[in-house]
Amino acid sequence: MTFHQCCRRLSHVLKQNSVIWSRSNVICCKSKSSAAGEKQQERQRAHMARGLPKQKPITGVKEVIVVASGKGGVGKSTTAVNLALGLMANDQTATVGLLDADVYGPSVPKLMNLRGNPELTDNNLMRPLKNFGIPCMSMGFLVEDSAPIVWRGLMVMSAIEKLLRQVDWGSLDYLVIDMPPGTGDVQLSITQNIPIAGAVIVSTPQDIALIDARRGAEMFRKVNVPVLGLVQNMSVFHCPKCNHQTHIFGTDGAKELACTLGVEVLGDIPLHLNIRETSDKGQPVVVSSPDSPEAEAYRRVASAVVRRLAEESS
């Protein structure tokens, strides 16, 4: 296929997706009516689903909750770990698992104080490593701590498929998935291959993080994953000496975004030394300091997530 043929083919595909191809740029078209807009969205969903396998539940798992963020460094993994522990703390009968899908930067092994390689069952399934009553699986269990994971997209997709399908989770009420930051291949692969009960978006209140958080929320909506709500992380800093409150990253930015998106804020997590120290030690605050205000904040988030799951399923 020549270069000009490629351009014509690209132009045809773009027009099918209701965009205008010009010599200088690509300009999105707005539908003239709500009916036209709905048809456009249906076409887009059909194109996204073309050639993809049908969703298949993970054996033994009742509900999958993904914890995502538009960008890194907002406390997504810490939130995912404490959410999983909070779900179990709020309901002692609940069984909860934790999957670290951040292939390039796995954090769960450190946060959950887990080391070693998974054993294999008789069916060649990997047995998750377990701590604090929660079975965990991560790419970090399969590579050396300091080894960089330098993989192309197809290798990453293969790894994600193995983490999803070749793990013996047993029977779980909830599987919390710590997603990588952004809106790339891993997010699409997971959302299009397994049924997901809902997504939790983590963001700090600052504008630069909220821009990407909004992209993440819109991505989940496009693939028909319910957005359970936003977690506003690092919302306020309490000085340990004078107890003065400082909003380092701004005030109520996530709440304003939640209002714009038509979702709720599941909770506010403070920027606190206790959270950082317990995370670095592999002793998450929900289990190491259960009576602290920080642990209570995570448990409130877990309660809100359970309530939103019930609302979405009703």
How confident is the prediction along the chain (314 residues), in pLDDT tens digits per residue? 565 565 565 555 445 544 333 333 433 434 444 566 666 666 665 655 555 567 899 999 999 999 998 778 888 999 999 999 999 999 999 999 999 998 888 999 999 999 999 999 999 999 999 999 999 999 999 887 777 777 777 888 888 999 999 999 999 999 999 998 877 788 888 998 999 999 999 988 887 878 888 888 999 999 999 999 999 988 878 777 787 778 777 677 778 888 888 899 999 999 899 999 999 999 999 999 999 999 999 999 999 999 999 999 98
Contact assessment for residue 262 and residue 219, using Cβ atoms and an 8 Å cutoff: no
pLDDT of residue 8: 61
Contact assessment for residue 63 and residue 174, using Cβ atoms and an 8 Å cutoff: yes
The predicted-structure confidence for 236-288, as pLDDT tens digits, reads as follows 787 777 877 787 776 777 788 888 888 999 999 998 999 999 999 999 999 99
The residues with which 265 forms a beta bridge, in sequence order, are 230
Contact assessment for residue 87 and residue 130, using Cβ atoms and an 8 Å cutoff: no
Place of tokens 């799951």: 309
pLDDT of residue 153: 76
H/E run at residue 228:
strand 227-238
- Within a 10 A sphere around the Cβ of 52, how many other Cβ atoms? 11
Domains in the chain, start-ordered, CATH in brackets?
3-49 (no CATH), 61-313 (3.40.50.300)
Between helix 185-193 and helix 34-49 the angle, nearest 10°, is: 90
H/E run at residue 269:
strand 265-271
pLDDT of residue 246: 80
Instruction: Give the predicted TM-score (pTM) of the model.
Output: 0.81
SS (H, E, C) 94-126: CCEEEEECCCCCCCHHHHCCCCCCCCECCCCCE
Give the C-alpha separation, 149 to 163, whole Å.
15
